[in-house]
Structures are given as C-alpha cells and as structure tokens.
Amino acid sequence: MISFNINDVPTLFIKAFTARDVQTIIDFVRDAGSSTTSTGNVVLFIDNPITTHTVEAVEKLLAEGYRVCYRDHHGIDGEPANDRDRQVKAAANKLAQDLGGDCRITVRRLHPACSTLVKVGEFQDAVAIIADPDADGLTAAMKAAGIFYSQLDEDAALLDGEPHLQVTGSAISQLLAKGMATLPSFDAKDPTKREQAQQALFADWVRAVQDDKQAENRLSEVVVAYDQAVKVAEKLAACAVEVVPGVMMADCLEQPVFDPGTLIHLLEHRPGCRITILKKGLGPIAAVHGVQYSLAVAKIYQSEINLQKILPSDTRSGPQFGVITNVSFLLHVSEDVFLETVLGQLRGLSQSWLQAGQANT
C-alpha cells in the first residue's frame, strides 16, 4: 500500500481490483476521518480504474455518510467494443447514478491528464484522496490538494502518455519519469519492495516540487540508474525478434531493470513495426502465471488497431484471468493467453496488413 499526506491530505494510491482492495480503501478513509481536524466529509477518487470494486468502495463510503467525488479519464470513447468495455460503461453509469454532479468521467482524448479535471486546491479540505498509483494519479492528487507548478498539467499528460515521451517534460518532471522507469518490477516473492521504493519516490518528488533541495538531490541520483537502464534497453532491442510481420518482441525475462520507453521506441522504429511485445518475468500477471506479455500499438497505428478486439468478447480482465486491458492500444496477457489466443490473432492481423499493402500497390 502506498500512502502519505499531500499538503496534509491523507492520500492512498491503489487500484480497486479485489475485495481486499475495497476493504483497504474503506479502512484508510475511516482512519483518515478519525484523525482529521477537518469538519468536511469529502473523499476524492481520481484517476482510478472504473471497476465493479471501485463502485463497491464508493457505495460503501456513501453508506457511511461520506460525500464522494469522482474524477477520471478512463471512460469508454465511443461504443463498447467488448465485454470489458461494457463492464466499464456499466460501472461508469452506476457511479454517475450514485454521485450525480459529483461524478465526472471523461476520456483520455479530451483530457490526457487527470490533473485537468480538478482546480488547484479544490480538495485541500478533503478527508482523503484515493488515486491511481502512477504519475498521473500523483500529479492529479497533488493539484487537488493544493500543490501545483506552472507546467504540471502539461507534464502530467506526457507522464501518462507514450513511454518514450514521458522523459521529455520539464526538468522536475523528468526526475519523476526516470525514477518510475527504474523502479523494481513487481516481484511476488517480495511484493512490498516496489511499493516501498515507489512511495519514497512519490514523497520525494512532492517535496522537490516544493523546493526541497535534499529531496531533489536524492531524485537526481536516479539519473545514473536511468542511464544504465537505457543501455540495457538498447541491448534488448538489438536482440528482439519479429514474431510475425509487423510485430516485434523483446525477451526481457533475464533483465528485470530496463527503460521500457527506450526499448519500445527502438522497436517501433524497426521497418514495418506496428505492435511491440515485451516478454517479462515480473509484473502483476507474471506474479500469478509466471510470465507476462505486454503488447503496445505504435502511436501512428493506434487509430487503426484495437488490441481489445483480438480477445473474445467475453474476456474478463484481471491478473487472475491472465488479461489486463484498460485502453485499446495496450494489452497485458499471460503466456497461455498469448499462445492460445493472441498469437493467432496477430498472425491474422499481419496477413490483413500484407493484403492491404498489396492492394495499394
């Protein structure tokens, strides 16, 4: 669990995927409410995945008398393409029904960063903030609690965007991006290691934004580690293979620390590459199934290729099912799902690209 106070507002960074996650959220808000000097009763959820467990947590807090405000950009853009999309839309509709005007769910196309969904200090008197444990969730929670700098919204959009662009923001933003890139991957044998490192990174970055030079100096030390991670990524890219025409895969099983942004960028620049795959031994799916395949559509093809459509319409999303999919251009699957379902679909896609190319010549 990653949690600390941001401008005196207790903030929990979590994804609500399980019943245990729901209880963690409820317990956190209760503890925050019992120790706060604020007379308010507002709890902000921001940048959280729209899941049935998120809805459950919200409804339980409402039943306990809290006012819940929900801000997010994970809404379905257009018509649902599969069961997962329909589940998200149903959950979003339930949140809107439960919260009324306190619910604002939009899409990344309109709001690339969740920080754009709040005003500076809008929730500085909140009992608690529940945010996604990534850079977008952090920057959004900071702004909501009253900590802001002039480039925060622009930096947040980059931090939540294409991996190779995440390190191109302001100087202070780059420290967070490089720190995130060098965090230890999730390891089921030591599940708290990454959380502890990420909490320290988040807390130091919040301090650095507020001109804490000691925190900034600690963050600067990660630049050396990042440079080494870039070198590892370059070596991995050199050994990558084309699993089917247009799909490049890098085997990262023996290299737990590398810069994903650099690796994906190099793979995407291989001639004809439309989809990249990173085969990893660490990650939420790998923790359950041993190996995780992380697929990403190259930026210029994201309007044409929807990875969610290569899965059966009744596919359930979650580490236990060997599938994680939140957006159309990213997909994480177990080895079984990859070999039994995804690889065959990629072959079909590749054949369609070849036929389309022949038709245009």
Residue 33 located in a structural domain: yes
User: Which domain range does residue 355 map to?
Assistant: 229-359
Measured between alpha carbons, how far is 310 from 308 in angstroms, rounded to an integer? 6
Residues 246 and 153 in one domain: no
Predicted local distance difference test score (pLDDT) of residue 360:
66
Q: How many domains would you assign to the chain?
A: 2
How far apart are alpha carbons 305 and 349 in whole angstroms?
9
Whether 361 shows a pLDDT value over 70: the answer reads: no
What pLDDT score was predicted for residue 84?
75
Q: Which residues, other chains included, contact 74 with Cβ-Cβ below 8 Å and sequence gap of 6+?
A: 47, 48, 49, 50, 88, 105, 107, 108, 326, 327
Q: Calculate the average pLDDT of the chain.
A: 93
Are 276 and 138 members of one domain?
no
Q: What percent of the chain has pLDDT over 90?
A: 75
Instruction: Kindly report the pTM of this predicted structure.
Output: 0.81
Do 152 and 237 lie in one domain? The reply is: no
Confidence of residue 331 (pLDDT cuts 50, 70, 90): very high
Q: Residues 117, 235: one domain?
A: no
Q: Are 183 and 197 in contact (CB under 8 A)?
A: yes
- Answer yes or no: do 155 and 233 share one domain: no
Higher pLDDT, 356 or 107: 107
Q: What is the mean pLDDT of residues 310-335?
A: 90
Domain membership of residue 311 (yes or no) is yes
Q: How far apart are CA 245 and CA 347, in angstroms?
A: 8
Q: Both 14 and 152 in a single domain?
A: yes
Q: For 27-41, 66-80, 124-138, which range has the lowest pLDDT when averaged over its residues?
A: 27-41
Q: 143, 47 in Cβ contact below 8 A?
A: no
In a domain, 170, yes or no: no
54 exposure class (CB count in 10 Å sphere: 0-12, 13-18, 19+)? buried
Q: What letter represents residue 163's amino acid? A: P
The SS3 call for residue 249 is strand
pLDDT at 209: 97
Q: What is the CATH number of the domain that holds 121?
A: 3.90.190
Task: Say yes or no: 240 and 131 in one domain.
Answer: no
Q: Does residue 173 fall inside a structural domain?
A: no
Residues 231-241: tens digit of each pLDDT: 999 999 999 99
Do 11 and 157 belong together in one domain?
yes
* Mean local confidence (pLDDT), 69-80: 92
Our measurement of the distance from residue 148's CA atom to the centroid of its chain's CA atoms, rounded to an integer in Å, reads 21
Strands (E) across the chain are located at 2-6, 9-13, 42-46, 67-72, 103-105, 128-131, 241-244, 247-251, 275-280, 292-297, 323-324, 330-334
Residue 317's pLDDT band (cuts 50, 70, 90): confident
Q: Tell me, what's the pLDDT at 145?
A: 98
Is the Cβ–Cβ distance between 236 and 252 less than 8 Å? yes
Q: Which of 132, 161, 190 is the last residue of a domain?
A: 161
pLDDT of residue 1: 86
Return the pLDDT at 24.
Answer: 98
Any domain includes 149: yes
User: Residues 173-221: pLDDT tens digits?
Assistant: 999 999 998 888 777 678 788 899 999 999 999 999 999 999 999 999 8
Q: Which CATH number belongs to the domain containing residue 354 in this structure?
A: 3.10.310.30
Pairing type for strands 128-131 and 9-13 reads parallel
